[in-house]
Amino acid sequence: MSEPLLPPIGMLAELTHRCPLQCPYCSNPLELLKANRELDTQTWLDLFSQAADLGVLQVHLSGGEPTLRRDLEQLIAGLSARGVYTNLITAGVGVAEGRIVAFAEAGLDHLQLSFQGARPATTDRIGNHKGGHEKKLETARRARAAGLPLTINAPIHRHNIEEVPEFIDLALSLGAERLEIANVQYAGWALTNRDQLMPERAAVDRQAEIVAAARERLSGIMNIDFVPPDYFAIYPKPCMGGWARDAFMVTPDGTVLPCHAAQTIPSLSFERFGPRSLAEIWADSPAFNAFRGTDWMQEPCRSCDRREIDWGGCRCQAMAIAGDAAATDPACAKSPIHARMAMLIDEAQRAAAVPSTDTPFVYRRIGVVTEPA
């Protein structure tokens, strides 16, 4: 039996796909939306009001780079007026002086700042943006000066996994309350760049040991969240807490999705906010109900004692690797094709070992995706 439908408590709002960085691990879709496709201020405010009415308690303001929205202060204020907790997820480059203070005054509750590397050269190379590291450091200082709680987000992959100890030191030096060591998950641009981003198994094991030791050492000083890589897992993670179970996301044009990569499932059609209310989409959308709960599950998931722990894992990963969104997530050891994960890891290692260019990535850009030169 599936559990009764509960109201969502969390929402990810991708306000824009525009971004000054071009990170090759970005989870945004390959077909990035241009500025003229973005919802206007009033539509976002209406959407946020409906989200609060629906029961949403926290909204993560993301992108792209959300600070490129000139109305961001107004959007934060609208959420604050409804008592919704706001977390700004930013790359921290190009944020004008005084704007962090303006966000805090508008009611922002928390700032999450991403670093592509713990070293300046790594940050600049991965983001394809010179001088980005120093700009991020300044954003962190301004956030702390404005009294905002700070999380440092470290997206981990082959090219920065050995910098994990330095990420820990960096977060401590910036006065962060929280550090997220988030191994890249392969969707969007990260899937396109999978061979170049996939770390070696020994490096993943070392990373886990370093994080475990740091968690113990820094208990009560700084929280460290660890998001392990699915491809090296025994059991999958619940996608967004479970497909359409307690959270959802909205793209820049108002399309409402259960998760980042849901639009890669060709059998599903997703609705935009406006023609229908958020409440109607949450409760009645065929796409949201497609993998909600447990009734949709095939074996071995249907009879698995973990079915209400991981909620079937990632449907988009099943689509990408198994070719069937309803299949057991291949990250699970109980999947009949779990061995394919090890094969993909090995293929990535072989591909990465072949020298190509100094810039092996397909960098994230609005427009046609091209292969690296």
User: What's the rounded mean pLDDT across residues 127-140?
Assistant: 96
Among residues of the chain, what percentage have pLDDT more than 90?
91
Give the tens place of pLDDT for each residue, 71-94: 999 999 999 999 999 999 999 999
Confirm whether residue 239 is marked as ligand binding.
Answer: no
User: What's the rounded mean pLDDT across residues 249-273?
Assistant: 97
What whole-number distance in Å separates Cα of residue 242 and Cα of residue 248?
Answer: 10
Domain 10-232 in CATH 3.90.950.20? The answer is: no
Which pTM was predicted? 0.94
User: What's the rounded mean pLDDT across residues 168-190?
Assistant: 97
pLDDT of residue 370: 52
142 pLDDT above the threshold of 50: yes
pLDDT of residue 356: 61
18 pLDDT above the threshold of 60: yes
Confirm whether residue 259 is marked as ligand binding.
Answer: no
Confirm whether residue 301 is marked as ligand binding.
Answer: no
In the chain, which residues fall in CATH 3.20.20.70? 10-232
User: What's the rounded mean pLDDT across residues 208-222?
Assistant: 97
267 pLDDT above the threshold of 90: yes
Of 24, 14, 123, 5, the C-alpha closest to 64 is 14
- Give the range among 9-13, 293-297, 313-317, 359-363 with minimum mean pLDDT: 359-363
pLDDT of residue 369: 58
pLDDT of residue 239: 83
pLDDT of residue 367: 75
pLDDT of residue 56: 98
pLDDT of residue 115: 98
Among residues of the chain, what percentage have pLDDT more than 70?
96
